[in-house]
Chain A
Amino acid sequence: MKVTCLSCGMLGKVTFEQTFDTSTKIVEIHHLTKTFGKFTAVDNLDLTINKGEIYGLLGPNGSGKTTIIKMLSGLLTPTAGSVKIFGNILPCKSVMKTIGYMPQETAIYLDNTVHENLSFFGGIYDMSKEHLEKREQEMLQFVDLSKWRDALVLTLSGGMKHRVSLACALIHEPTLMFLDEPTVGVDPELRATFWGYFENMAQKGITVIITTHYMDEASHCTRVGLLRLGKLIADGRPQELKESTGATSLEDVFLALAGGKIS
């Protein structure tokens, strides 16, 4: 069944009855599957994420986290199943304006200044000059880089580059953020700072979907999904998951559910 996206006119493929509801469901994932050749990276995933949540996709390397994020942000086309964002079935260009995406890589232009990066990413989101200037100042303050506005990104430290990358993902005021392993290769201090940013974002009503393989980080999330071999093996509040399995940490929860095997 082919259905045209009502808000932008793009043709999307759906395998279920399309309904537009006004609830707080931000992301609705139905039977989502992605295979690369014989390898199934994501296996029949069903998940709904609500407004204001910090949803942590948790799992070891190769469990399908990044593949899920890429399908949610429209970078990969699902083999089967579908993704609805704000009630619109992907692919849908008009939804893109409301999405912020921070890839695993730093993904900013090294040969440009911090300011040039921010105004470039603002520019491709059609922001007006005044709005962009105001927003740029806010973002620089938010990630504490006001002093480095005119520094070449190349000359910044690794942690600063990560902060610029986050600011670039937030410049257009997205209401839904995808963060793909934002804390990999980041020192403990900055990791704490980053989780502070993320909680701050959620308080402002931004829905945050984050992938990580650091089990200890997941306690910051309002809800976590444990992934193993492309399958969702548990979904709930961190506290609930611990209680239901009698484990003391999410790592133990994972090990209990995975039958003692991490991969």
Chain B
Amino acid sequence: MMLQRILAFSLRALLQFRHDRRTLAFILIMPLLMILIFGYTFGGDVKNVTVEVVNQDTGLHEGTSPLLPHGLYLGEMIIKNIDEQTLSLHENTNLTNARQTVYDGHAWAAVIFPANFTQEFLSHVSSQQETGPVKIEIYLDASNPTISAAVIKAVTQSIQATLKEITTDLNRTQVEIPIMIDQTYAYGGSDTRFIDYFAPGVISFAIMMVTTMITIILFVNERRNGTLQRLLVSPASEGEIVVGYALAFAVIGVCQSVVVLVAAILLFNISIVGNILLALIVLLLLAFGHQGLGILLSAGAKNEMQAVQFIPLIIFPSILLAGLFWPIESIPSYLQPLSYIIPLRYGIDAERSIMLRGWGIGEIWVDILVLILFALLTLSASVLLLKRKS
């Protein structure tokens, strides 16, 4: 291995991209575009869901109870605590009309507080009778599960917040509250958004896609244009060719990662908990492995047209089986074993662990080991492939 020859390969490839601005744009902008499109379409949390609110709760009037001298209007408090960004509330006094609005598709849900809501709650609390839980009715248009989930989540959160307020009020009166949900988070928090979960996957996917595609096209061209023959007649070894290109892809990979990471941080406020350098190393391993795969696949394509045909073959398994959008646990169990043979799975898993959980090598060594093996396997196979003579 001669460094000068290796660098000659890397430099030539990089200079080629400098002249071919379109390809350069593809390399840098495609990952950016992916995170933008996916981030804004998938990543945005549900907002401004129109919801009818019917508050029939008469409450507990001022001065009625010595425990609560100022009275208690529980329904009103819960409504006030509902996140206004998620739900756009429309107060309605007519129950039938509210239901009809949902039925007609003008609202996603109607939240209904019964007339004796506060009283029932209080009697349940004070007497601790088994009167059954106090009920709020949510009349839902559940045709969109994401929205229904968002409505229920918003109301539940509001109930919890309200209960907390009352607990402090009632604590002075030594009354115990029967329902008290306290949420704690191992990783992330109540503010973890889908985009946080999604970004590490998009970055890995973008690196994988660009590296594979560019390598296939580059090597199909090397074969077709006869330049590869020239290289094989030169003193340069097949290993030097592969390592030279790998270095060029390392440079490209770093540029891509930086662009995507900066975009993710600036546009989507993604907080990266773990070591960025480790995240970058994992991405490079992913790039090396897919460069090898690209060289191998290029041997199976006679021209660019045939090369392009490999792309869906690579994209779809990666999107569907590697846990990019959905956790691997959510794909049918008979398909889950397939995900183990998709290298992207390990890249995504490692990137998520680093960025979201702040894990280090100690926790993700299996992912890293698999990626190193994948890279060694495909790169050495591609050296052998280039050496093969008829």
Give A residues with C-beta under 8 Å from B. Answer: 36, 70, 73-77, 93-94, 96-97, 99, 101, 103-113, 116, 119-121, 123-126, 152, 168-169, 178
Interface check B145, CB cutoff 8 A:
no
A125 and B390 contact, CB distance less than 8 A:
no
* CB-based closest 7 A-B pairs: A123-B8, A105-B226, A107-B226, A103-B226, A120-B12, A101-B233, A111-B16
Q: A107–B231 Cα gap in the complex (Å)?
A: 10
Nearest Cβ distance between residue B14 and chain A, in whole angstroms?
Answer: 10
Q: Name 7 extra pairs, CB < 8 A, besides A75-B229, A103-B230, A108-B227.
A: A75-B389, A107-B227, A109-B16, A120-B9, A120-B11, A168-B230, A169-B230
Query: Chain A contacts of B20 at CB under 8 A?
Result: 111
Give B residues with C-beta under 8 Å from A. Answer: 2, 4-5, 7-9, 11-12, 15-17, 19-20, 224-227, 229-237, 240, 389-390
Query: Chain B contacts of A121 at CB under 8 A?
Result: 230, 234
Closest partner residue, chain A, to B227 (CB atom): A107
Q: A120–B232 Cα gap in the complex (Å)?
A: 14
B389 and A76 contact, CB distance less than 8 A:
yes
Closest partner residue, chain A, to B222 (CB atom): A109
Query: Chain B contacts of A111 at CB under 8 A?
Result: 16-17, 19-20
Q: A93–B236 Cα gap in the complex (Å)?
A: 9
Q: A91–B20 Cα gap in the complex (Å)?
A: 37
Closest partner residue, chain A, to B231 (CB atom): A124
A109 and B227 contact, CB distance less than 8 A:
yes
Nearest Cβ distance between residue A180 and chain B, in whole angstroms?
Answer: 9
Closest partner residue, chain A, to B7 (CB atom): A123
Closest partner residue, chain A, to B8 (CB atom): A123
Nearest Cβ distance between residue B243 and chain A, in whole angstroms?
Answer: 13
A97 and B235 contact, CB distance less than 8 A:
yes
B19 and A113 contact, CB distance less than 8 A:
yes
Nearest Cβ distance between residue A193 and chain B, in whole angstroms?
Answer: 21
Query: Chain B contacts of A73 at CB under 8 A?
Result: 233
Nearest Cβ distance between residue B218 and chain A, in whole angstroms?
Answer: 10
B230 and A106 contact, CB distance less than 8 A:
no
A126 and B4 contact, CB distance less than 8 A:
yes
A103 and B229 contact, CB distance less than 8 A:
yes
Nearest Cβ distance between residue B328 and chain A, in whole angstroms?
Answer: 40
Query: Chain A contacts of B233 at CB under 8 A?
Result: 73-75, 96, 99, 101, 178
Q: A76-B389, A77-B389 are in contact. Are A107 and B229 (CB under 8 A)?
A: yes
Query: Chain A contacts of B240 at CB under 8 A?
Result: 124
A112 and B12 contact, CB distance less than 8 A:
yes
Nearest Cβ distance between residue B97 and chain A, in whole angstroms?
Answer: 68
A104 and B226 contact, CB distance less than 8 A:
yes
Closest partner residue, chain B, to A127 (CB atom): B4
26 examples of A-B residue contacts, CB within 8 angstroms: A36-B390, A70-B229, A73-B233, A76-B389, A76-B390, A77-B389, A94-B235, A97-B235, A103-B229, A105-B224, A105-B229, A107-B227, A108-B225, A111-B16, A111-B19, A111-B20, A113-B19, A119-B8, A120-B8, A120-B9, A120-B11, A120-B12, A121-B234, A123-B5, A123-B8, A126-B4
